[in-house]
Structure formats: C-alpha cells, structure tokens
Amino acid sequence: MSLGNGRTSQATETTVAEVVNSIGPKLRDLRSVLGLSLQQLSDRSDVSPAAIHKVEQGNMVPTITTLLKLAAALDRPVSYFVEEDETPPSYVVYTPAGEEREVYTSHTGINLSSISGPYGQYFVAAARAEVLPGASSGENPLRHPGEELIHLLSGTLEVDVGDRTVRLKAGDSVHFRTDRDHAWRNPTQRPAKAIWMALRPA
C-alpha cells in the first residue's frame, strides 16, 4: 500500500514538474510566433523583460499574478500555459472556406485569418491578409529568424528587405529571409489582400 502511494506521489510530482517546465518554452514559442520582442511583451504585460527572459529560460517559476499578466497580454487563457496537451497531433488540418481563424498581431491596419495548422505541430504558418490603406509594419524595421512568402491577390504592397524595395501588384510574390531588416506598407488608398506565409522558428 505504501509503495503504491509512493508511486502515485512520484507520478504526480513528475507531472507537476513537466507542466512547470513547459511554461517557459510555451511562452517563448508564442512570443516568437506573434513577433513580439521581450520589450514589447514587457510593455503589454507590465512584467520586466528580465523576468520574462528568466521564465522563458526556465530559471524562474512565474507567480500566478505574473502568469495572469502574460496570458492577458498574449490573449491566451492561463490554462494554455499550465494544462497538459493530451490531444494527439493532427496530421491533417482542414480549413473550410469562411472558417479561417483570426490571428493576433501587434501591428495595426492588418487583419490576418489563419489557413494553416496550429503552431507547435507545423513549421509553416499561412494566413489570408488584408492590409488597410496606409498601414505599415511601423517605424522600426523587423528582424527575426525564419522566412516569409507574400503572394499578392489584389491592391499594392511595398516590402523592404535589406537595401531593396519590392513593389507588389496583383499576382506578384516575394520570398525573403527574415533575419535581415524588413518592413512592409500599403502606400495606396485601397486595401491590399494577400496570402502571407511564414516559416516558424524551430
């Protein structure tokens, strides 16, 4: 009897440890997918960049208050970080027309609807994008690991990569490495629509 209880206790401790150890990687992966720097997430959550970094690296277990702040800033329930994922991975994700899932982005003036499988199971993210007139990626250039491919369906979109600017019109595509400074903007008075793909960091 005592041996059985010991095993149960040990199993419970192992499960708790696994859940706690998974918080950091989940936080890091989600921040990366959303394209947020440590400072940007800090500004949104009121948690210091140093604390976020420690949580991501597994050097600090977040308090419930810190976890609540981070979850709210990332638009996720706290359960996302602490529940075990018992759902087996899906090898096929079917997205019927009109049932795309909205994708959170920190940029204003762009609407994204996912047409790909969930991150964590798939390396490629793809979305239908609508870039409103005058919208852009912001004053500071973007830089992060990975690749992006943009295929423009309608309108006009300008994309800067390094020292090169590509002006896309309907039917044009651009594929680039995102470890170089890059930026995008819609310089016209019409919305631009595109299929936007990104290789998620490993």
**Span 129-149, pLDDT tens digits:** 999 999 999 999 998 888 999
In this structure, which CATH number among 3.40.50.720, 2.60.40.1180, 1.10.8.60, 1.10.260.40 belongs to the domain 2-82? 1.10.260.40
Residues of the chain with CATH 1.10.260.40: 2-82
Name the amino acid, one letter, at 70: L
**What confidence score (pLDDT) does residue 29 get?**
82
**CA pair distance 190, 87, nearest whole angstrom:** 42
Residues of the chain with CATH 2.60.120.10: 101-199
Reported confidence tier of residue 192, pLDDT bands at 50, 70, 90: very high
Regarding the domain delimited by 101-199, which CATH topology (the fold level of the hierarchy) does it fall under?
Jelly Rolls (2.60.120)
Percent of the chain with pLDDT over 90: 41
**What confidence score (pLDDT) does residue 90 get?**
62
pLDDT, averaged across the chain: 84
What does the pLDDT average to over 55-66? 88
**CA pair distance 33, 6, nearest whole angstrom:** 40
Q: Where is 128: in which H helix or E strand?
A: strand 124-131
| Distances, alpha carbon 164 to alpha carbons 97, 140, 186, 193, in Å | 35, 16, 16, 22
CB-based contacts of 13: which residues, under 8 Å, 6+ apart? none
